[in-house]
Amino acid sequence: MTYKTCVSIAEKTPKKLKQTLAKALKKSDYAEIRFDFLNPNSVPEVLHLIRKDLRRCVSTLRPIREGGKFSGSEKNRVSIIKLIAEYDPFLLDIEYDTLRKNKNLQRYLKSTGTRTLVSWHNFKQTPDISVLKKKLLEMKKFSNNIKIVTMAKSINDGSRI
């Protein structure tokens, strides 16, 4: 079995993000770029600076409601997600609820051939296995790349994931 590593990067400035990404990709197979830590107006600059490395990056623009830092409007967030997709990252991490509620975004990502990582978060608990299986099947309608994050409060919770 082979293993791949992915380091998460959450910098606040384009210059610092580029520097940290260069260091991370020397030691890790992939990097997750948390675009939600940046000022939204600096995202185009960052994309230009790191465009050659995006094939090894999972790109994330997580809203506050999903545990991220992005505080702008959902319309603005979706437009930034579309911009990130134009740069063809290795994976674009998008929340299940965002995809489920936004048919226009679904069509756009499909038309561009963007590879997505569909994520779902429950910060309060780990649901029963039947709920998790159902959620997994729903998420697979959008991508074969799935990420489920829950709050584990016991060993049993952790083992269900």
Question: What is the C-alpha separation between 10 and 35, in angstroms, rounded?
Answer: 7
Query: What strand order describes the sheet that includes 57-60?
Result: 6-9, 30-34, 57-60, 91-95, 116-122, 146-150
Strand stretches in 38-142, DSSP E: 57-60, 91-95, 116-122
121 is catalytic: yes
Active-site entry in 16, 121, 134, 140: 121
Question: Does residue 48 have an active-site annotation?
Answer: no
Whole-number Å distance between alpha carbons of 116 and 96: 10
Q: Of 18, 82, 135, 147, which is the active-site residue? A: 147
* Catalytic site positions: 121, 147
